Amino acid sequence: MKNKYIIISFALITILINFSVTFGQYHSFGRNKIQYTDFEWQVLSTKHFDIYYYPEMEELALIGAQTAEESYKILQNKYNHALNHKVPLIFYSSHLYFQQTNVIPNILPEGVGGFFEFFKGRVVIPSDGSISQFKRVIRHELNHVFMHSKLVRVQKNHKIMNKRFPPLWFSEGLAEFWSGQPNTQAEMVIRDAVLNNYLVPVDRLFSIAGTFLMYKEGENLLAFISERYGEEKILLILENYWVHPKFSEVVKYTLGVDYKELNRQWTYHLKKKYYPLLRDKDKPQMASKIIDNEGFNSKPAIYKDKDGIEKIIYVSNKIGYTGIYQKDLDGDVNDEAEFVLTGEKSNEYETFHLFRSSISVNNDRILAFVTKSGETDVIHRLNLDTGSKYPPLQFDNLVTISSPSWSPDGRKIAFTGLSRNGYNDIYIYDITGDKLSKLTNDTYDDRDPSWSPNGKHIVFSSDRTQTGAGGRYNLFKIRIKDLKIKYLTYGDHNDRAPKYSKDGKLIFYSDRGGMDNIWMLKSAQRSDKFKLTNISDDDIDLEMPENGLLDYKAVRLTNFTTSAIDPVWTNEGSIVFTAFEDFSFNIMKVDEFKNYDMALEKTSNTPKRTGLWSHKKLKKDISTFGKKYKSGYSLDIAQSQVTQDPIFGTSGGAVIALSDILGNNQYYVLVYNNARTSGEIIDHFNVAVTKVSLAGRTNLAYGLFNFNNRRFNLRKGFFDERRYGGFFSISYPLSFFKRIEATTSLAYSKEDRIGFNSREAVLAVNSVRFIKDNSLWGVTGPLDGERYSLSIAYTNDVRFNNLNYFTLVADYRKYYRLSKRTSYAVRFMYLHSDGSPDREIQLFYLGGSWTLRLYPRFRVWGTRAFIINNEYRFPFIDILGIRFPFGAVGFRGIRGALFFDTGNVYNGERFDNKWETLKGSYGIGVRVRIGGFLVLRYDIGRRTDFRNLPDTIYRQFFFGWDF
Amino acid sequence: MVRFSKEITLISILLLTACTGSIKINNISSVDNESDWTQLGGSPAHDRNAISQVTPPLKMLWRKDVEHSPSGVLTAAYGTLFVSTMGGKVFALDHETGVTQGKLELKNSIGKGIAIDGIYGYFGRISSDKTMFGYDLRNGNYIWKRSIGPVESIPLISGGLLYVTTKSGYLYCLDLETGAEKWKFNAGKPFHSTPAKWNGLIIAANDSGYVYGISASNGNLKWKFQTGAPVFATPIISGDDIYVGNIGGAFYSIDAKSGKTNWKHEGSGSYYSTASANDDNVFSMSGDGMMLSLSKSEGSIIWKSDLNAPISEGILLSGRYIFIGSMDSYLYALSAETGNILWSEKLAGRVRTSPLEYKGRIYIGTENKYLYAFVEELYADE
């Protein structure tokens, strides 16, 4: 990650500095990380941590600090290791704020719960309203800190100079294993993998690196090693890390078994554990009807359309963009899902919260759903009959919103809102009165609100239960009139997503018994009533049941091997829900169900209640609290290199990057020397200093440079150029998908060519660019969406009048999705350069794998050019593996392409003053991605001038992403 | 004049050692000197405490770059310090000046130290080749080399025999002069720590969680005691009792003759390091940085001290003071009576060795490849 960061930054600098002679057609695209929010950062220093937070989340920061210190003690013991420096922890009170961090340049998707960055050892963690989850992520990331420090130390102690690190399945698996008990979700994934035969063996785990399955398999495997061989073996794997360069050999040395045997033992253990489940439980698809099993589907809702047909509407990601789809309830599984709207292509529906936020439809068929739009979430309302949109609902103090729920009369929406302090509470918005009311107001995580049929209560899931301190959620009911809250369920398990039927039957999903299934609350006979024991009078917010007895008991309606979540009633009394099976989330329906385990609730033991619980906050060993953050710079990277090129000779240099802890301000210093004789050393001293400022919404970069290099130009050949000056650049993101960039630079340039007079110039270059990108990427390039850029630049020699021209580059690329893995891609590019005929001008070159395929690179040039590329992209080989006696090599996702390109160039008055003959090429190609950052391309086909179709076959091999 | 001669000697030694990579010590003697620390814990029972009481505050006398992180146990004899490193080197240093008197270079990490017997030194290493060595410190030649499996610990020497544990699960008894195997005991699971000796028994503990009492003469098992979790720490024997903790957090007092437990203390963290004991109390440190003084008779807590970071090796008792080197890069001196920190010194890196007391000085090694010598501040300028 660190090399990509530096390479990108220096590419940016290089392009900016040399804009006047750079190909303008290859603009950088990409989406934008926008700093919407002005955080007033403060510092909290504890014994082992420097914690960066902002005032609104002060309480959360103290809770996080307490957790961090507790975790430090535990991990110090587990790793038999101590850290010799304070760890910087950067907290955010919401994931949307976390996405704005400049600690790393990457866009952070929803699935990233936190990260540890190697340069400065920073740990960045968001909260999402669940403090238990926040604490778990802190422990998880601190595992990475300890692991990294331990492994560096072990290797350094044993003279290993080139540091290596274990495979991702091990590091993530261990971080997860040592951050707490496995949760229901982790068990579910492994159970599903075993029962559906897609568990990836140990020696192949690298092939799913970075996937959710890898995380869970890694965690489970480490739990197995701990159980079978002893937890100390995990520590010994780390301490033996120096013994062999191959991690598999380290494991073999430590455990005494190789990967093959370990896998055999592990899979046998899992089969013994999970196969017997099939005796009493069912796979969801064997016991319910499939509504939609294509892609990832979640959060169904039911409504009747204007023709009275009952519909299921749900959130789904089938092809890469998340959107909302619907189907007839009584339709066939093979019926195509009707597309309602697509998100993640425009600022309006920037991102959905796919598995986190439910949707709701009222009796007027108005759909309410949530997306991110700009800095915060908004509630959208869409009329399903007409397609018309109501103004989105955005609330000043609320950052994240989830699970909107219409009231029975359709005039109010209840939802969960996360405020800037990081706490989730239940809100009601009255549409008619335009009034927002807050129903709960505390540190507990209140979610999944749902209205009672009479509109007087809201049922929700919350960790305000006594077992909530351990991360458990039970169901509660709040009376809107006086905000009195009652227990509905209780126990050391998770009860979520309650939903009433019209006649008052409440269903929800729960992981009682270890698996998520659908449950229903039934009124209990006195003898069946569940008793809450040892109730304290301190629970002033909670209305205690009479005699401590809950009025309801929970009965299980489904009995699946994996999971059933988010149930909703149909009008006929069936239940529609989301089931996880075969690593996908499907919408299912069950019409008939029987009650399981009716006695289960009665026999649960209840621990003693001691009143409302709260998370511990750090109170001691605080050396600094509330101190305003000041930027202090420290080294990110210092790297030196010597290069030898047969053309350009030898050069040696160094690059240094500095930044502050938050990554908001960065300095880059490049120094190198390419002198060929001792007398040239001073003259050929090259330096560039750049400052990049990312703290605000507008990003700035400016700097000074001095270069003296031997260069090559296709028109001029080799020449020496001395160039020094400065530049200033602005990038302003209009939205997640669009931005404007402007650059101005002023530089002195002197070119010396053998056989020619020197050319001096003082170049003033001004450019403006507009860029949009909402493309969705596959393995080797974009598959869906579009991206385009328009740039105009003016270059003028303000002193010697040797150059004077403007350039315009228009680049439009569109990707039409034909199926899940195929698409048709088209690019139109026009390049135009114009200026005084007696002065230098920008030239454009076509030819090569990136422009006009099957023609040699830079074959044709002109002052104007256009290219039209057409390409049909399809999967070619999914997995290609070759096993040698000494090892194996494999490739995944080899893609194919059928292409047809055309292009031409025009030379103005100084040259031929005409367009050349139109050029074209067509053929077939293959692309394979190596190591995540390099794509190799091979094309074969023919050329044409559109008058003839010669038989000659041309081949071309190069590298680079698809356009 | 004396200094000038010393420099010539030094240069000569350096030249010699640079050419041959050996340790040759001229003034070596086969007579035991009571101030020498020839093996872990200063005795076969690992129960020796500092001969002289070193009183804090201390002052650094010298610091020596030993090129790699030192391994766990320092030994000293004939005015020479012996340091083995994880980089595969064994250094012999003048204890007063830190000047290198000799250096051995091997390819792989040396086990946790070099044990000395007379004119010979014995050490092991982790390797697929020869793993146990006998070395003549006077002439710089190996007297024997053996392949017995990877050796992580420092060997025990007693009664003319050498006892060493391996990571392949064996306890070996070897002849000191020839390295010939007298017997071996197969415990089935790896050993990480050094055995101890009490009367005719060898006491050893390993990953199985067992503490074994094995006949020193023939390797027969006399008794074994299950502690409940793997044992990484080296057991010490004080009086007739064994003291050892396991990584599950349990610390035991075990009767050495019968193998039966006297008492058990449940600690708050894992025990990775070796304990120390005086007449009344035993001192232990767990992985969460908690140091305890326990009554030897009952196992009750006399005091406890939360020291912020654990230690990786052992504890040195020096009269009324306890010296420990911690993973937070400090050398601490604590009161043996109260556990209060009386003095501390920040070092260049995490401490990787037990402190060693030799001729009134304290020696300690850190993972940033330094070996330190400290002396009482009162005598620093002498």
pLDDT digits (tens, 9 = 90+) for A488-535: 888 889 999 999 988 888 999 999 888 999 998 876 555 555 554 444
Whether the per-residue pLDDT at B380 is higher than 70: the answer is no
Q: What residue of A is the nearest CA neighbor of B88? A: A158
In whole angstroms, what is the distance from residue A925 CA to residue A849 CA? 10
Q: How far is B232 from chain A (nearest CA, A)?
A: 9
Whether B284 and chain A come into contact, CB under 8 Å, resolves to no
Whether the per-residue pLDDT at B8 is higher than 80: the answer is no
Whether A73 and chain B come into contact, CB under 8 Å, resolves to yes
User: In sequence order, what DSSP letters do the residues of B212-245 get, joined into one string?
Assistant: EEEETTT--EEEEEE-SS---SPPEEETTEEEEE
In whole angstroms, what is the distance from residue A415 CA to residue A431 CA? 13
Q: How confident is the model at residue A4 (pLDDT cuts 50, 70, 90)?
A: very low
Per-residue pLDDT, averaged over B313-317, amounts to 91
The amino acid occupying position A225 is: I
The mean predicted confidence, pLDDT, of chain A is 88
Q: Output the pLDDT for position A162.
A: 81
Q: Output the pLDDT for position A782.
A: 94
DSSP state of B177: T
Q: Output the pLDDT for position A638.
A: 78
The mean predicted confidence, pLDDT, of chain B is 89
Cβ pair A144, A83 in contact under 8 A: no
Q: How confident is the model at residue B30 (pLDDT cuts 50, 70, 90)?
A: low
Q: Tell me: the pLDDT tens digits for A189-245?
A: 999 999 999 999 999 998 888 899 999 999 999 999 999 999 999 999 999 999 899
Per-residue pLDDT, averaged over B313-325, amounts to 92
- Residue whose structure tokens are 């759903």: A369
Supply the angle between the helices A131-157 and A58-79 in degrees, to the nearest 10: 40
Cβ pair A16, A769 in contact under 8 A: no
Nearest one of A517, A520, A516 to A507, comparing CA atoms: A520
Q: How confident is the model at residue A277 (pLDDT cuts 50, 70, 90)?
A: very high
Q: Output the pLDDT for position A14.
A: 37
Q: Output the pLDDT for position A541.
A: 47
More confident residue, A502 or A178: A178
Cβ pair B241, B262 in contact under 8 A: yes
Q: Where are the alpha helices (DSSP H) in A738-784?
A: none
Q: Look up residue B146 and give its two tokens.
A: 């053996």
Q: Could you tell me how many residues make up chain B?
A: 382
Q: Output the pLDDT for position A79.
A: 96
Task: Mutation target for A interface from B107, B208, B227, B232: give the one with most A CBs within 10 A.
Answer: B232
Q: Output the pLDDT for position A543.
A: 54
Whether A244 and chain B come into contact, CB under 8 Å, resolves to no
Q: Output the pLDDT for position B197.
A: 95
Q: What residue of A is the nearest CA neighbor of B126? A: A243
Q: Tell me: the pLDDT tens digits for B173-184?
A: 999 999 999 999
Percent of chain B at pLDDT exceeding 70: 92
Q: What number of H helices and E strands is found in chain A? A: 12, 53
B97-128 residues labelled b (16+ CB within 10 A) or e (exposed): ebbbbbbbebebbbbbbbbbbbbbbbbbbbbe
Q: Cβ neighbours of residue B380 under 8 Å, at least 6 residues apart?
A: B59, B61
Per-residue pLDDT, averaged over A766-788, amounts to 94
Q: How confident is the model at residue A611 (pLDDT cuts 50, 70, 90)?
A: low
Q: How confident is the model at residue B18 (pLDDT cuts 50, 70, 90)?
A: very low
Q: Output the pLDDT for position A589.
A: 94
Q: Cβ neighbours of residue A168 under 8 Å, at least 6 residues apart?
A: A206, A209, A210, A214, A218
Calculate ∠ Cα B73-B75-B81, nearest 5°. Answer: 120
Of A246-260, A300-314, A925-939, B15-29, the range with the lowest mean pLDDT is: B15-29
Q: Tell me: the pLDDT tens digits for A425-455?
A: 999 999 999 999 999 999 999 999 999 999 9
Cβ pair A252, A225 in contact under 8 A: no
Cβ pair A374, A383 in contact under 8 A: no
Percent of chain A at pLDDT exceeding 70: 91
Own/partner pairs, A807-814, CB within 8 angstroms, 24+ separation: A807/A24, A807/A831, A807/A832, A807/A833, A807/A834, A807/A842, A808/A832, A808/A833, A809/A24, A809/A25, A809/A27, A811/A25, A811/A27, A812/A786, A812/A788, A813/A775, A813/A782, A813/A786, A813/A787, A813/A788, A813/A963, A814/A786
Whether the per-residue pLDDT at A82 is higher than 90: the answer is yes
Centroid of chain to Cα A369: 21
Supply the angle between the helices A232-239 and A212-229 in degrees, to the nearest 10: 110
Q: Output the pLDDT for position A910.
A: 61
Task: Mutation target for B interface from A83, A85, A151, A158: give the one with most B CBs within 10 A.
Answer: A158
Q: Cβ neighbours of residue B157 under 8 Å, at least 6 residues apart?
A: B38, B39, B44, B115, B116, B117, B122, B163, B176
Nearest one of A357, A356, A389 to A370, comparing CA atoms: A357
More confident residue, B2 or B122: B122
Q: Output the pLDDT for position A839.
A: 79
- Determine whether the interchain pair B126/A230 forms a contact, defined as Cβ–Cβ distance below 8 Å: no
Whether the per-residue pLDDT at A3 is higher than 80: the answer is no
Q: Look up residue A888 and give its two tokens.
A: 């194996």
Q: Output the pLDDT for position A537.
A: 47
DSSP state of A799: T
Q: How confident is the model at residue A19 (pLDDT cuts 50, 70, 90)?
A: very low
In whole angstroms, what is the distance from residue A486 CA to residue A545 CA? 8
Q: How far is A242 from chain B (nearest CA, A)?
A: 10
Q: Output the pLDDT for position A135.
A: 96
Centroid of chain to Cα A932: 16
Cβ pair B269, B287 in contact under 8 A: yes
Of A83-92, A517-526, A614-623, B211-220, the range with the lowest mean pLDDT is: A517-526
Whether A47 and chain B come into contact, CB under 8 Å, resolves to yes
More confident residue, B6 or A942: A942
**Distance from the first to the final alpha carbon of chain B:** 19
Taking the C-alpha atoms of A943, A945, A946 and A951 in order, what is their torsion angle to the nearest 10 degrees? Answer: -40
Whether B302 and chain A come into contact, CB under 8 Å, resolves to no
Centroid of chain to Cα B77: 14
Number of neighbouring beta carbons within 10 Å of residue B32? 12
Q: How far is CA A767 from CA A251, A696, A794, A843, in A?
A: 56, 22, 6, 17
Q: How far is B52 from chain A (nearest CA, A)?
A: 31
Of A310-319, A382-391, B371-380, the range with the lowest mean pLDDT is: B371-380
Of A609-623, A747-761, B95-109, B218-232, the range with the lowest mean pLDDT is: A609-623
Whether the per-residue pLDDT at A727 is higher than 90: the answer is yes
Per-residue pLDDT, averaged over B223-238, amounts to 95
Q: How confident is the model at residue A88 (pLDDT cuts 50, 70, 90)?
A: very high
Domains and CATH numbers, chain B: 2-379 (2.130.10.10)
Note if the bond before B57 is cis, omega within 30 degrees: yes
Of A724-733, A818-827, A906-915, the range with the lowest mean pLDDT is: A906-915
Q: Which segments of chain A belong to CATH 2.120.10.30?
A: 284-603
Number of neighbouring beta carbons within 10 Å of residue A883? 9
Nearest one of A836, A764, A835, A790 to A20, comparing CA atoms: A764
Name the CATH topology of A41-163.
Glutaredoxin (3.40.30)
In whole angstroms, what is the distance from residue A472 CA to residue A492 CA? 6
Q: How confident is the model at residue A646 (pLDDT cuts 50, 70, 90)?
A: low
Whether the per-residue pLDDT at B291 is higher than 70: the answer is yes
- Determine whether the interchain pair B69/A157 forms a contact, defined as Cβ–Cβ distance below 8 Å: yes
- Determine whether the interchain pair A156/B69 forms a contact, defined as Cβ–Cβ distance below 8 Å: yes
Q: Where are the alpha helices (DSSP H) in A200-309?
A: 212-229, 232-239, 247-255, 259-274, 277-280, 284-287
Q: Tell me: the pLDDT tens digits for A378-412?
A: 999 999 999 999 999 999 999 999 999 999 999 99
In whole angstroms, what is the distance from residue B188 CA to residue B167 CA? 10
Q: What residue of B is the nearest CA neighbor of A233? A: B207
Its CATH class, for the domain covering A284-603, is mainly beta
- A-facing residues of B in 217-256 (CB < 8 A) are 229-230, 232, 247
Of A14-23, A111-120, A378-387, the range with the lowest mean pLDDT is: A14-23
DSSP state of B23: B
Per-residue pLDDT, averaged over B354-378, amounts to 92
ipTM of the predicted assembly exceeds 0.85: yes
Q: Which residues of A touch B88 (CB under 8 A)?
A: 159
Centroid of chain to Cα B57: 24
Cβ pair A426, A451 in contact under 8 A: no
Q: How far is B4 from chain A (nearest CA, A)?
A: 36
Q: Could you tell me how many residues make up chain A?
A: 963
Burial (CB count <10 Å: 0-12, 13-18, 19+), residue B377: middle
Phi, psi of A786 (to 5 degrees): -155, 160
Q: Which segments of chain A belong to CATH 3.40.30.160?
A: 41-163
Whether the per-residue pLDDT at A26 is higher than 60: the answer is no
